[in-house]
Amino acid sequence: MLYLQTGIVTNRLRTRHTVNDWQELLAIVGSKVPEIDSAVKAKSYKRDKATFVIAGTMTKTIRQNANLINRSILFFDIDSTNGDDYPTAVAKIQTALKAMAYLIYPTISNGYKGTRLRVAVPIDQPFNAQQRAQLGTYLADLLPEDWETDLTSYRSNWSQLAGLPILNAYSLAHDYQSISHTAPFLSLHQVLSQTKILSIKAHTSSPDRQTVPLDRQPWQDMANRTLTSLINPPSINRHLYFSSLVGSLLFMKLDQPVIETLLSWSNAHSDNPLADDELQRAIVSVSKSADRKQRAHG
């Protein structure tokens, strides 16, 4: 079933009964709104007029995590393509996701906040919040490492809405359109099995290492990746690296002083450290963004 909402500020949804959520989503014609010609106008339209969607099953038509039983389609945003324009970004996504069905479209802010895209991927069976995290990790690993997505970060609330296609003035001027791909749905079983195999390999590579239980939670894997990343900071794309790291640490619900201490230590051990004020700005910027999104999405 599709659940639709007009404007981002409310949390009440209206139902759209479907035989096939994916085909129903593809049938929805995107809106052409040429009057959206700035980030300010995009924000205003998003607040009051844009249509948002959740695909899955809910117990109540009130958008809260507790009311969302499962999802049928995984949506995710690409908020930074590290300089790639829309056609280049689309081409990279098409290559990465060529084995599965997908829908790619520009977001309402595309062009006014850099290249902004949204991707929808149908899954072959309903999935829950924990499985969504594993699907997100799988898909994130297929995409360019220097892109910023909300697949595994704090921004991806379980009941987060996805905006339906809206072509603003910039997207219309450049003829940036939605692009869909017909292929088998991504297999939930395959992703979960692959994730489990990779976890086994990672923890049995050394004969002296103890076996880790297979029922580990996604947040444990995130914690391992994050802490490992802290020890080996990169010398390039440092702003993106530290911003992503802040997001992961916020998701783990670490206190601000702890985050600042960890990032300062990691930065000090980088071959090409950021200036202290730059690092602090990155921490503050991501923290404020996280706080705003938390208030907006509940």
The residue among 22, 127, 1, 11 whose CA lies nearest residue 61 is 11
**CB proximity list for 91: less than 8 A, separation 6 or greater:** none
CA dihedral for 187, 189, 195, 197, sign (positive or negative): negative
The residue among 118, 100, 101 whose CA lies nearest residue 109 is 118
Instruction: Go through the domains of the chain in sequence order and give each one's CATH number.
Output: 2-188 (3.90.920), 214-297 (no CATH)
Provide, for the chain, the percentages of residues in helix, strand and coil under a 3-state DSSP scheme, each rounded to the nearest 5: 45, 20, 35
Q: What's the rounded Cα separation, in Å, for the pair 89 and 78?
A: 9
The residue among 296, 265, 298 whose CA lies nearest residue 279 is 265
Q: What's the rounded Cα separation, in Å, for the pair 124 and 75?
A: 14
- Residue 133, amino acid: A
pLDDT band, residue 206 (cuts 50/70/90)? very low
Residue 241 tokens, joined? 């690296």
User: DSSP labels for 108-121?
Assistant: TTTTTSSS-EEEEE
Of the two residues 202 and 219, the one the predictor is more confident about is: 219
Give the model's pLDDT for residue 200.
Answer: 43
| 60-96 pLDDT tens trace | 999 999 999 999 999 999 989 999 999 999 999 999 9
Q: How many C-beta neighbours within 10 Å does residue 13 have? A: 22
Beta-strand relationship, 162-163 and 68-80: unpaired
**CB proximity list for 174: less than 8 A, separation 6 or greater:** 86, 111
Q: Please write down the long-range contacts of 260-265, taking CB distance under 8 Å and 24 or more positions apart.
A: 262/230, 263/230, 265/230
| 4-57 pLDDT tens trace | 999 988 888 999 999 999 999 999 978 999 999 999 999 999 999 999 999 999
pLDDT band, residue 202 (cuts 50/70/90)? very low
Q: What's the rounded Cα separation, in Å, for the pair 291 and 40?
A: 20
On the question of pLDDT at 146 being above 70, the answer is yes
The residue among 248, 232, 234 whose CA lies nearest residue 286 is 248
* CA quadruple 38, 43, 46, 47: dihedral, nearest 10: -150
On the question of pLDDT at 215 being above 70, the answer is no
Beta bridge partners of 77: 118
CB of 251 closer than 8 Å to CB of 222 = yes
Give percent above pLDDT 90 in the chain.
Answer: 52
**Residue 285 CA: distances (Å) to CA of 131, 229, 280:** 29, 20, 8
CB of 51 closer than 8 Å to CB of 163 = yes
Q: What's the rounded Cα separation, in Å, for the pair 201 and 206?
A: 9
Give the model's pLDDT for residue 278.
Answer: 80
